[in-house]
Structure 1
């Protein structure tokens, strides 16, 4: 099963457009973000990002997974608000 925290990292990287930007928004180190993405790529069995000098773009698999990631993360946030 895919890890929800890693899916949240993918979504943040996609929205920030870079690993460094996502790391800053998540209060992680860029290395920690990269490690989580590498683990997610292993879990999925495909590359999710194209890394460029000025940031990242999603691969087609990454784009497909992003939609699911946003839905899952949104549902988890809703569940947390419901029980708190």
Structure 2
């Protein structure tokens, strides 16, 4: 009787472990799905980081390049500062 009990228990344990491997928490299909989600999230993060860097660069240009913005506003829109006289020379 003991000769059949030990192999039977070992086979049952093997079946339980194998079932966990394929159907339980952390199973092979679930790990594959999580890996696909991870790759997609990493791509989305890289895209967002690139957009953030672009926006930060534009913001830095606007903060540092106010002289350029002022010059364009003066030339194209006729901007005049307070207590300043606007003189336009026609050619």
> Common fold, TM-score beyond 0.5?
no
Higher relative contact order (CA 8 A, sep 6+): 1
Query: Greater share of strand residues, 1 or 2?
Result: 1
More helix by share: 2
TM-score by length of 1: 0.28
Name the TM-score, length of structure 2 as normaliser.
0.26
